[in-house]
Amino acid sequence: MRRGVLVSVTVLGVAAILTAGALLVYRGALAPQPVRPGTVPPGTYDPVVWGKIYPLEYDSWRQTADPRSANKSKYKKGWDTDGVVYDKLSEFPYLALLSRGWGMGIEYNEPRGHYYMVTDQLEIDPSRVKPGGVCLTCKSPYAQKLLDENGPAFLKMPYLEAVDKIPAAHRTLGVACIDCHDNQTMDLKVSRWTIRNALAALGKTSPTRQEMRSIVCGQCHCTYIITRDEEMKPTDVVFPWRGSRWGDISVENIIREIQASSSNLEWTQEVTGFKLGFIRHPEFEFYTRDSVHWQAGVACADCHMPYRRVGTSKISDHNVMSPLKDDMRACLQCHTEKPDDLRRQVLAIQDRTVALMNRAGYAAATVAKLFELAHREQAKGKVFDQKLYDQAKECYLQAFYRVVFLAAENSVGFHNPSEAGRIAGDALAFAGRAEGLLRQTLTAAGVQVPEVVNLELGKYLNDRGTKKLNFRPEQEIKDPTGLQDVFLPPAAKGLAVKK
What is residue 226's three-state secondary structure?
strand
Q: Per CB under 6 A, does 493 bind ligand HEC?
A: no
Interatomic CA distance for residues 6 and 335, integer angstroms = 8
**Shortest CA distance to 411 belongs to which of 210, 216, 213, 217?**
217
Contacting residue, 150, 263, 345, 462, with ligand HEC by CB under 6 A: 345
Minimum CB separation of residue 341 from ligand HEC in Å reads 9
Stretch of 157-165, 331-339, 457-465, 486-494 lying at the interface with ligand HEC (CB under 6 A): 331-339
CA 205, 206, 208, 214 torsion-angle sign: positive
Q: Per CB under 6 A, does 323 bind ligand HEC?
A: yes
Stretch of 87-95, 147-155, 174-182, 200-208 lying at the interface with ligand HEC (CB under 6 A): 174-182
Query: What is the footprint of ligand HEC within residues 206-225 (CB under 6 A)?
Result: 209, 213-214, 216-217, 219-221
Stretch of 100-108, 176-184, 352-360, 475-483 lying at the interface with ligand HEC (CB under 6 A): 176-184
Interatomic CA distance for residues 368 and 377, integer angstroms = 14
Minimum CB separation of residue 23 from ligand HEC in Å reads 5
Minimum CB separation of residue 285 from ligand HEC in Å reads 8
Size of the site for ligand HEC (CB under 6 A): 78
Question: Residue 40, class by beta-carbon neighbours within 10 Å (0-12 exposed, 13-18 middle, 19+ buried)?
Answer: buried
Interatomic CA distance for residues 127 and 140, integer angstroms = 19
What is the helix, strand, coil percentage profile of the chain, to 5?
50, 5, 45
Residue 226 β-bridge partners: 237
Stretch of 236-244, 294-302, 357-365, 375-383 lying at the interface with ligand HEC (CB under 6 A): 294-302
CA 163, 167, 172, 174 torsion-angle sign: negative
DSSP designation for 40 = P
Whether 446 and 439 have beta carbons less than 8 Å apart is answered as no
What is residue 315's three-state secondary structure?
strand
Stretch of 110-118, 421-429, 439-447, 473-481 lying at the interface with ligand HEC (CB under 6 A): 110-118
Minimum CB separation of residue 72 from ligand HEC in Å reads 7
Stretch of 122-130, 170-178, 367-375, 390-398 lying at the interface with ligand HEC (CB under 6 A): 170-178
Q: Per CB under 6 A, does 274 bind ligand HEC?
A: no
Residues in CB range of 139: below 8 A, 6 or more apart: 117, 118, 121, 174, 175, 220
Q: Per CB under 6 A, does 494 bind ligand HEC?
A: no
Interatomic CA distance for residues 405 and 194, integer angstroms = 20
Contacting residue, 335, 352, 369, 464, with ligand HEC by CB under 6 A: 335
Site string for ligand HEC, 433-472 (x = CB under 6 A): ----------------------------------------
Q: Per CB under 6 A, does 58 bind ligand HEC?
A: yes
Query: What is the footprint of ligand HEC within residues 381-410 (CB under 6 A)?
Result: 410
Q: Per CB under 6 A, does 302 bind ligand HEC?
A: yes
Whether 117 and 175 have beta carbons less than 8 Å apart is answered as yes
Q: Per CB under 6 A, does 292 bind ligand HEC?
A: yes
Nearest residue (CB) to ligand HEC, 106 versus 328 = 328
Minimum CB separation of residue 279 from ligand HEC in Å reads 15
Stretch of 128-136, 266-274, 338-346, 478-486 lying at the interface with ligand HEC (CB under 6 A): 338-346
Q: What are phi and psi of 316, to 5 degrees?
A: -80, 125
Q: What are phi and psi of 98, to 5 degrees?
A: -70, -30
Residue 228 β-bridge partners: 234
